[in-house]
Each structure stands twice: as C-alpha cells, then as structure tokens.
C-alpha cells in the first residue's frame, strides 16, 4: 500500500502494477491492517471500501497504536478538545468499539499496550480501558 499525500491518493501494489484504492482531499494518515485500510482527514475518518469512505466517523482522529489486526485511534470531538475517545478497530472480528475517554498531553503519550480483555493507554498517567466482551457493544463492518 502506498499513500501519496501530495495527490491525496491511496494505492495498492499488486502483480507489478499500482491500482488506486481511494482519493480524497486533505488526506492526513493511512493505516492498513489485516483486511482493511483506514484513513484520517481533518474532522473525520473511516475505512476504505470500493474507492469510498465507509464507516465514516466524525472527529479529529490520531492513530496512536496498532497490531497486525487492530488499530487504536484517539478521537477529539472538536479541534480544541482536551479529552479523547478511544476507538479500537479489530479486523479479526471486522468490528470497532469505543472503549472510553482519556486525557492527552501532547509529547507525553507513550502509546498503548494490548491485552486479551483490555488496553492500557499511557498518556497523562496509566488508563486501563476494558475491551467489550458483549458483541452488542461493537459495530460490525464487512471486509
């Protein structure tokens, strides 16, 4: 996968050729995991599917950590917010869930530790956020 921030385009390399996956103004960040590619823009973000933004989320998203199958975004409700919603994307179950809210002090965030039933966010202190076991707390998406 290739993100070209000059042309705001996301492409894939396969069989010796590039194919455009997505293009949209003001592309900020791109993250690929097992089955999906997520992009952030200024005040929204979402998953790329068939050249379009699916599962669109409102808010100013910062990709803070990742594994092969999971992404953790910190999402500000507005550009001046001092608290962030924590969104966990899990491509093993093709779903995402909001885990809670945390404060953020830029430069002090140390990342996220992943565990089976929780994540620990190291920002302004240690914040333990439970991963929902009940599937009704997750929003499903197709790959």
**Which H helix or E strand runs over 74?**
strand 70-76
The C-alpha atoms of residue 3 and residue 31 are separated, in whole angstroms, by 9
Does the model's pTM come out above 0.85? yes
Domain boundaries, the chain: 2-140
**What residues are paired with 79 via a beta bridge?**
none
What pLDDT score does 79 carry? 84
How many Å from the N-terminal Cα to the C-terminal Cα in the chain? Answer: 16
Q: pLDDT tens track of the chain, all 143 residues?
A: 889 999 999 999 889 999 999 999 999 999 999 989 999 998 999 999 999 999 999 999 988 899 999 999 999 998 888 899 999 999 999 999 999 999 876 666 678 999 999 999 988 789 999 999 999 999 998 75
- DSSP 8-state code for residue 34: S
CB 72 within 8 A of CB 87: yes
Please list, residue by residue across 112-136, b when 16 or more beta carbons sit within 10 angstroms of its beta carbon and e when fewer do: beeeeeebebbbeeebebebeeeee
Residue 78, CB-side half-sphere exposure with 13 Å CA sphere:
2
């Amino acid at each position: 996968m290739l993100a070209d921030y000059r042309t705001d385009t996301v492409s894939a390399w396969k069989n010796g050729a590039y194919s455009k996956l997505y293009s949209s103004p003001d592309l900020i960040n791109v993250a690929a995991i097992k089955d999906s590619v997520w992009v952030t823009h200024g005040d929204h973000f979402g998953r790329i599917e068939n050249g379009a933004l699916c599962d669109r989320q409102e808010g100013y998203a910062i990709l803070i950590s990742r594994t092969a199958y999971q992404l953790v975004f910190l999402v500000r409700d507005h550009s001046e917010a001092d608290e962030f919603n924590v969104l966990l994307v899990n491509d093993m179950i093709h779903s995402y869930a909001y885990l809670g809210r945390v404060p953020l002090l830029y430069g002090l965030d140390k990342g996220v530790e992943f565990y089976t039933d929780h994540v620990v966010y190291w920002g302004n202190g240690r914040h333990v956020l439970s991963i929902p076991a009940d599937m009704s707390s997750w929003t499903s998406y197709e790959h």
